[in-house]
Chain A
Amino acid sequence: MAHADEAAIFNKDEEKVDWHDKALWFVRQKRDKSAHNVKGWETLRNLASAIKANVMSNLDNYLIQFEENAQKNGITVHWAVDADEHNKIVHSILQQTNVKKVVKSKSMLTEECHLNPYLEAHGIEVVDTDLGERIVQLAKEPPSHIVLPAIHKTKEEVDVLFQKHLGTKPSHGDPQYLTNEARKHLRDKFLKADAAITGVNFAIANTGGIVVCTNEGNADMGAHLAKVHIACMGMEKLIPEEKHLGIFLRLLARSATGQPITTYSSHFNKPASGTEMHIIIVDNGRTEQLSREDFRASLHCIRCGACMNTCPIYRRSGGHSYKATIPGPIGSILSPGKDLTKHSDLPFASTLCGSCSDVCPVKINIHEQLYKWRQIITKNVPQPVVKKTILKMAGRVLANTKLYDFAGKSARFMLKYAPRWVVYSKLNTWGKARDLPEIKDGNFDQWYKKRQRHE
Chain B
Amino acid sequence: MKVGLFIPCYINQLYPQVGIATLELLEKLGLNVDYPMGQTCCGQPLGNSGYENDSKGICSLFVENFKAYDYIVGPSGSCVYHVKKHFDILEQTEDVKRVRKNTYELCQFIHDVLGKTDLGASFPYKVGIHKSCHGLRGLRLGSCSERMDAHYSTEEDLLKNVKGLELKTLKRVDECCGFGGTFSVFEEAISVKMGNDRIRDHIDSDVEVITGADHSCLMHLEGLINRNKQPLRVMHIAEILNSSM
Interface set of A (CB-CB < 8 Å, partner B): 3-4, 7-8, 11, 14, 17, 21, 25, 32, 35-36, 38, 41-42, 310, 312-313, 316-317, 348-355, 357-359, 371, 374-379, 383, 387-388, 391-392, 394-396, 398-401, 404, 408, 411-412, 429-430, 432-437, 439-440, 442-449
Contacts and interface: CB of A to CB of B under 8 A. Distances in A.
A395 B55 contact: yes
Contacts of A411: 13
Interface in B32-54: 35, 37-41, 43, 45-54
Contacts of A432: 188, 192
Contacts of B190: 4, 7-8, 11, 313, 316-317
B113 interface: no
Contacts of B7: 444
Interface centre among B51, B178, B186, B194 (most CB of A within 10 A): B51
Contact of B49 (A42, A376, A387, A448): A387
B57 A395 contact: yes
B182 interface: yes
Given A374-B49, A374-B50, A392-B51, A35 B148 contact: yes
Contact of B45 (A310, A391, A446): A391
11 contacts: A42-B147, A374-B49, A375-B50, A400-B61, A404-B9, A434-B220, A437-B14, A442-B16, A447-B20, A448-B19, A448-B35
Contact of A377 (B13, B16, B45, B50): B50
Contacts of B166: none
A401 B20 contact: no
Given A392-B54, A394-B46, 14 more contacts: A316-B194, A348-B187, A355-B133, A374-B50, A387-B186, A391-B45, A395-B51, A399-B57, A404-B41, A433-B224, A437-B14, A437-B223, A444-B11, A447-B20
B92 interface: no
Contacts of A383: 50
A439 B219 CA distance: 12
Interface of B: 7, 9, 11-17, 19-20, 23, 35, 37-41, 43, 45-55, 57-58, 60-61, 86, 133-134, 137-138, 144-149, 172, 175-176, 178-195, 197, 219-220, 222-224, 226-227
A102 to B, nearest CB: 39
Interface centre among B16, B182, B189 (most CB of A within 10 A): B189
Contact of A36 (B46, B52, B148, B182): B148
Contact of B48 (A371, A396, A401): A371
A358 B50 contact: no
Interface centre among A21, A317, A394 (most CB of B within 10 A): A394
B58 A11 contact: no
A317 B45 CA distance: 24
Contacts of A375: 50-53
A432 to B, nearest CB: 6
A408 to B, nearest CB: 5
B49 A4 contact: no
Contacts of B60: 399
A395 B188 CA distance: 23
Contacts of B223: 430, 433-437
Contact of A4 (B38, B58, B187, B224): B187
Contacts of A401: 38-40, 61
B189 A4 contact: yes
B148 A351 contact: no
Contacts, number: 208
B48 to A, nearest CB: 6
A437 B182 CA distance: 16
Given A11-B193, A21-B197, A351-B179, A358 B137 contact: yes
A438 B162 CA distance: 28
A25 B146 CA distance: 12
Contacts of A448: 19, 23, 35, 37
The SS class assigned to the A binding surface is: helix
Nearest to B138: A354
A401 B62 CA distance: 11
Contacts of B41: 398, 404
Contacts of A394: 45-46
A233 B192 CA distance: 40
B224 A312 contact: no
Contact of A398 (B43, B133, B134, B172): B43
A429 B219 contact: no
Those 6 A-B pairs whose CB atoms lie nearest each other, nearest first: A351-B180, A399-B57, A434-B223, A395-B54, A374-B50, A378-B50
Given A433-B227, A445-B37, A358 B146 contact: yes
Contacts of B149: 42
A430 B10 CA distance: 15
A21 B171 CA distance: 14
B49 A359 contact: no
A442 B12 CA distance: 9
A353 B176 contact: yes
A440 B46 contact: no
Nearest to A40: B148
B149 to A, nearest CB: 7
Contacts of A429: 185-186, 188
B26 to A, nearest CB: 13
A442 B19 CA distance: 12
B199 to A, nearest CB: 11
Contact of A387 (B19, B133, B182): B182
A383 B144 CA distance: 34
